[in-house]
Every structure is written in C-alpha cells, then in structure tokens.
Structure 1
Amino acid sequence: MNHNTPAPLSPRPLRHLVESQRRVMSAGQLKAHGVTAAAAQEQCRAGGPWQRLLPGVFLLHPGPPTSEERLHAVLLYAGRTPGARHAAGGVPAQPAGRTPGPPTPPCADALVTGLAALALHGFVSAPPLPSLGHIDVLVPRTRRLRSTEFARLVRATGLPDPVQLSGVPVAPVPRALADAIGQLTEAGAVRRLLTEAVRGGHCEPAAVVRELTLARLLTRPHVVDAVDSLLAEGRAIAEDRLYAMVREYGLPDPLWNVDLRLPGGPHLGGVDAFWPDQAVAVELDTRTPRPDEPDVFSAYVRKREHLERLGISVVHLTPRKLRESLEQQAVVVRTALMAAVDRDPAAYVVVLPR
C-alpha cells in the first residue's frame, strides 16, 4: 500500500447504530457508518435484529415500526438525500476514507401529502397515522421511482414549499387535500375534509378549489357537490366575521345583504353591507373561479366598476383578511365612511332586501 493512501475505515460495531436516536436508515447512510449492503441484509435475516422497511431503507429494531418511523422511511425512499437509496440514483453519503459527518435529514424534494399530511396538520376527520395502509409522498414528476409497499408516490411538476411538522416536511393543506381527495370515492369523507379545512381555519376555500382544479378533480360529481358545500361554509364564516367587525369596532350599522338598482333602471347587483348615507358598500370576495364558470370574474369586475361610476365606494374584503386582520379591515371601512364627506354625491339608488 502506498504510504500516501489513507487506510480504509474499519467497520464500527453495529451497537452504536442501535443505540443512536436514528432508528430508520438508508443503505447509503449505513454504508457511511461502515455497514455494507451484505451486512445490512444479514441483520435482516429471519429472527434478526433489523428489518427492511422499503427498498434500501432499514429499521434498526425488530418490533413493528412506529408512525414516525414509517414517515421517515417513506421520505428516505423517495427523497434525493445522500444515500437515501442504494439504487435508482442514490449516492454515497461520504467519500470513502472520510469520517462520517452528522446524519443528514430528509430533503424537501419529497413531501408527505394526502391523508398522512392532513393527520399531521391536525385534521380530526383524517384517519390516524397508524391506520393508514399507504403514506402518500409528493415527488418531482421526473423522479425515476415507483410506488411500493406502503410508499405511494404522487408526482408533481413543481413541489410547494414544505411545512415542517414534527420534523417532517409536509405539503400545505390545500395541496394535501387535493392529493387525498384524488384517492377518495366516498362523498361524505370528501365533504368532511373540506368542511374541516375551512371551519378549522386551515385554509381559504379559494386555495382549495385552485388545487382541485389543477388536479382536474372538479369533473367528479361527488367532489363538485362537496365544493359547493365548502363555498357555502366559507361564505357563512366570512359573514359572521363581518358582523363581528361592525359590532366590535363600533362601526355604524349598515343595511345587510341588499340588492341595489337604479330607479326604474337595471339591477346593479347585491352587496353584503351598504351605508346609504355615505354611499359605501362592502363586498365579500368569496368568489372562487370554477372551470364551468369562466365569466364569473368578468361579471364581478363589471359590477364593481358600474357602482363606482355611480359614486358608490366599494370596499373589497376577503375571508382571509377578515380572519387575519379584523381590526385593520375595520379601519379600512371606517376610512371609507369618513371620506364620503369629501366626495361628490352619489347617484340615487333603490335598496331592496336580498
């Protein structure tokens, strides 16, 4: 041996792996600790101390895996972490001859999604993690890997920014919902998930519908019915917050949920709140574009422009603004009411109950 050639690492006792905090490791990570593929397979023999959970992923104890261990196994299998797999493009975690560094956590190029992600987000209507036969994991569309055993791959052109929950990279709620609903055929389960998403404040209806549209799920009748319930739920919650804003911040009482029209003229549209003396209207933007309603947005814009040409100031409020900054939205409405004295008088309109 040349004196300049470093001596190869001697295999370390396997006890240090079992006693570590890492109970799930990939073949590449084991190799970085001096454990060959053959030695890993030997540990997984019948009655042995280890188990093979997924291709190239090992559980370093003989009992059943916990939910956390299954999650980490799926991420090690699907991610491009150094040494995550001994095949399909896996690379060694450390060059030969170097002392292994600290363990590398799973990369965010694989995210837990679907029902498992919703369980991690705290959805009570999602099955608990131990009961799931599959764990969905979101990966780039170009990934050369197949679903296997309890790892089910969901491919995407681009991955969303992960949410870190319990040390696990998880898809945001709207994307996780779309991936979960894509696997569900029972209308009641779909409706329960969507209702909890909105009622529990996890996300806005518009964000969910965007993801369902991208996933081409709004062609399924049971999904469309559930989305209609979702939108009604979202509007009811937003209206309650609007009532609370007027009450809690001392705004003048408006006329609630009215239609406006010109005397003897055309219908101008409905608004959620209207102060006739100040000619100020509030409109909740719970509008959610749907594939079967391409002209909804254009009609909405035309209505708003028509009201403003008549001298009616329209304040736009979204459910998210009402949820996250209620006091600030009250200031916006109060400012519009105070500014009425400096504006030209508005056209006379007829106000009718809606």
Structure 2
Amino acid sequence: MAHIKSTADLRESGLSPREVLHACTPAGPWQRLLPGVVLTRPSPPTRLDRLRAVLTFAGPSSVITGADALARQGAALPLPRHVHVLAGSNARRSHPWILLERTTRPPEVVLRDGLRLAPPARAAVDLARRELNPRAVVALLDAVVDARLCTPGELREELRLCSRRGTALVRQALRHLYPT
C-alpha cells in the first residue's frame, strides 16, 4: 500500500482540506513531506518514501536520476542529502532537498519499486556532470561499469546526446578509464 499521497488525491477520496491539515499536525497521524505531498503514517519517512514524495511533487513526467537512480539499480554509491530529479522544461516547482533539473530530452524510464528512474548511463552522466573532483568522477564511472549497469559505450553514447555543459571531466575520465 502506498503511503505517499498528494493532497489532491486525499481530497478526491473524500477528505476535506481541514481534515488533511488536521491529520498533518504534530499530534496527527500523518506528515507533510513536501508542499501538497503527505506521508499517511506516523513513522519517519524512509529514503524510498522521500523518492516517491519527490516524484509526486515534481509531477507525472518526472524521473529520478543521479545517485538514487543508480543505487536503486544496483550501484554501491553514497546518497546525497538531495534527490536529483529530471522534469519537463516547463516544470516550475522546487524544494531545498530536491535538485530539479529541467530537460528537453526525457530519458527512457526504468521502473523499480514503483519509482520512475533514469537508465544507468543517463543517471551516471547526470551525476558525474555535477561533480567537480576528477577522482570522484573516475570512481563513479568505474563503479557503474563494474556493477554492470551499463557499458563504456553506453556512457559515450549518453555523452554524445547530452548537453555539453559540465561534461569535460566526464569525457576525460571516460577516456582515462576506457580508452578507445
């Protein structure tokens, strides 16, 4: 049973705005995780709850990318405080623990645990493009290929298709790790 609900879904199910607000007070059984997004149980949210909340908040075309997408698909990577999500170029919502990246090139969706995830090559490049430490970029690409989530060729293809902004270190790391 999904414990993440939008306030619109809760109202549609028959609850009044006042009932939803009351259930989300400190004494209530629910928690407001994001504007318009509620966890309908009193326990602290898990990372999976937060990921589901981000997708609900960012909209039906949003896709999780970066470290969370890679970790959900089998890579052993540390997770940052924020959740990196791709959304259509018209997305306007933001939040402090969401890294919202607008894209005109939405990725194919990989479904895991009910989550919409970017494929590994896209998620790796999205994550690596934001990294400033060359060693961290090498470690990230190496971890993704070692986990057999994608091949060096798939990473090269993603680099060919993506925006060039922020890709210099990624290109350099890929040439260093997997010379052609």
Q: 1:152 — aligned with what?
A: 99
Q: Does structure 1 residue 66 correspond to structure 2 residue 46?
A: yes
Q: 2:56 — aligned with what?
A: 76
Tell me how large the CA RMSD over aligned residues is: 1.9
Q: Which moved more, 1:33-42 or 1:112-121?
A: 33-42
Q: Following the alignment from structure 2 to structure 1, what is the Cα–Cα distance between the partners of residues 19 and 140?
A: 45
Q: Following the alignment from structure 2 to structure 1, what is the Cα–Cα distance between the partners of residues 26 and 166?
A: 48
Q: Deviations over 1:230-263 (max 9, x none)?
A: 323xxxxxxxxxxxxxxxxxxxxxxxxxxxxxxx
**Aligned-pair CA distance for 1:27:** 0.8
Q: 1:187 — aligned with what?
A: 134
Q: Following the alignment from structure 1 to structure 2, what is the Cα–Cα distance between the partners of residues 153 and 134?
A: 10
Secondary structure of 1:123's partner?
coil
TM alignment of 1:135-284, pairs within 5 A? 135-143=83-91, 145-213=92-160, 214-217=162-165, 220=168, 222-232=169-179
Corresponding residue to 1:113 among 50, 65, 72: 65
**Aligned-pair CA distance for 1:208:** 1.3
**Aligned-pair CA distance for 1:127:** 1.0
Q: Following the alignment from structure 1 to structure 2, what is the Cα–Cα distance between the partners of residues 154 and 218?
A: 13
**Aligned-pair CA distance for 1:158:** 2.6
**Matching residue's letter, 1:206:** G
Over 3 Å counting, the alpha-carbon distance change for 1:158 and 1:218 in structure 2 is closer
Structure 1, unpaired ranges of 5+: 1-20, 81-108, 233-285, 287-354
Structure 2, unpaired ranges of 5+: none
Which structure has more relative contact order (CA 8 Å, sep 6+)? It is 2
Q: Following the alignment from structure 1 to structure 2, what is the Cα–Cα distance between the partners of residues 174 and 136?
A: 15
**Aligned-pair CA distance for 1:160:** 1.7
Q: Does structure 1 residue 43 correspond to structure 2 residue 23?
A: yes
Q: Following the alignment from structure 1 to structure 2, what is the Cα–Cα distance between the partners of residues 208 and 122?
A: 17
Over 3 Å counting, the alpha-carbon distance change for 1:75 and 1:219 in structure 2 is closer
Q: Deviations over 1:36-77 (max 9, x none)?
A: 222211111233221110110001122210111111101111
Q: 1:83 — aligned with what?
A: none
Contact 2:66 2:126 in 1 (8 A): yes
Q: Deviations over 1:259-299 (max 9, x none)?
A: xxxxxxxxxxxxxxxxxxxxxxxxxxx4xxxxxxxxxxxxx
TM alignment of 1:267-346, pairs within 5 A? 286=180
Contact 1:178 1:215 in 2 (8 A): no
What is the aligned residue count? 179
Secondary structure of 2:125's partner?
helix
**Aligned-pair CA distance for 1:217:** 4.3
**Aligned-pair CA distance for 1:122:** 0.9
Q: Following the alignment from structure 2 to structure 1, what is the Cα–Cα distance between the partners of residues 137 and 10?
A: 41
Q: 1:8 — aligned with what?
A: none
Contact 1:212 1:218 in 2 (8 A): no
- Higher alpha-carbon Rg: 1
What TM-score comes out, normalization by structure 2 length?
0.89
Q: Deviations over 1:69-122 (max 9, x none)?
A: 111101111123xxxxxxxxxxxxxxxxxxxxxxxxxxxx21111111011111
What TM-score comes out, normalization by structure 1 length?
0.47
Secondary structure of 1:63's partner?
coil
**Matching residue's letter, 1:127:** P
Q: Following the alignment from structure 1 to structure 2, what is the Cα–Cα distance between the partners of residues 209 and 174?
A: 9
